[in-house]
Amino acid sequence: MHARGIPSRVPVKIHALQTGKVRIKTAQIEGRGKGIGRQLAIFRDSEWAWVPTFAYAVEHPEGVIVIDTGQGLHLLRHAESLHPYLRWQVDFEMQPEDEIGPRLRALGIGRNDVKKLILTHLHVDHDGGLAHFPNTEIFAARGEIDAASGWGGRLNGYLPQRWPNFFDPKPVDFTCGGLGPFEESHTVTKAGDVIALPLPGHTANHLGVFVETGDDLGTCVLFAGDASYNSAMMQQGKVDGVSPNETLAGETLAKIRKLAAQVPLIYLPAHDPQAAERLLQCRTA
């Protein structure tokens, strides 16, 4: 299936960029119970797990496209002003060279090479490296921008007060028609081979980014953000502990499985310990 007709002639190169790691409760990774009980289970849980925080870069003929910006050092340096949930239920760890700017530079990608940045959602471990992209066209789902802005956003654990002054993302509205099991999408590249898809669940307006790699096998990639914390949970339809709407989150995971049945798909969530290795080995979902 070629989603929009013209695959890239030269296969795109994709990089997993680890921007540190985060320690969260196991009941956040895999939800327990029903309704509000799922959130309470996280506070009661005494088991923690460290997971990596990945951002991704696609070397595309139209310029480098980055998906998410990962963690920023400010999360460690100014922890006292974080939302209580982030202070007490989450730990971040990283070194200065883990920020996405240095990670890209190590690959020979400078800040002016990055033409587009797409944010799966605006949680602090996804927008933490925004400062590295002052000259990049930035996209996020319209509803996500609204939810994360202002005092409402701050109360919900977003950090709009730490967004750089230049941050003025273009709202994505998903008006470009369907793709496989998804009824709506937003095409990002002129070639039509990079497509944002609505993946509501983890947040109400969370999105993912689908890429046709242009290789001979028709391999596609889905940058899935926090649609699930790992591939097994997507395959088993297990919803995390923070999704406000468990049913909707489950439906999103079912659509991803349908997509993976239609195309050879590499599934790349932001916190999957196996993501970098899966990418290297081009293992499909």
Q: Where does this chain bind Zn ion (CB under 5 A)? A: 123, 226
3 or 158: CB nearest Zn ion:
158
Q: How far apart are CA 172 and CA 138, in angstroms?
A: 10
64 or 139: CB nearest Zn ion:
139
Closest approach, Cβ 240 to Zn ion, in A, equals 9
User: Tokens standing for 241?
Assistant: 């502990």
Angle subtended at Cα 215 by Cα 212 and Cα 219, rounded to the nearest 5 degrees: 50
Closest approach, Cβ 215 to Zn ion, in A, equals 30
Three-state SS at 10? coil
Please list the residues that pair with 16 across neighbouring strands.
56
Residue type, 255: K
Closest approach, Cβ 251 to Zn ion, in A, equals 18
Q: In what order do the strands lie in the sheet with 170-172?
A: 90-93, 13-25, 48-60, 63-67, 114-118, 137-141, 170-172
CA atoms within 13 A on the CB side of 50: 5
38 or 123: CB nearest Zn ion:
123
91 or 113: CB nearest Zn ion:
91
Closest approach, Cβ 67 to Zn ion, in A, equals 14
Q: How far apart are CA 217 and CA 214, in angstroms?
A: 8
Q: Which residues neighbour 275 within 8 Å (Cβ) at sequence distance 6 or greater?
A: 16, 52, 54, 268, 269
87 or 258: CB nearest Zn ion:
87
Angle subtended at Cα 250 by Cα 247 and Cα 256, rounded to the nearest 5 degrees: 145
Closest approach, Cβ 123 to Zn ion, in A, equals 3
Closest approach, Cβ 147 to Zn ion, in A, equals 12
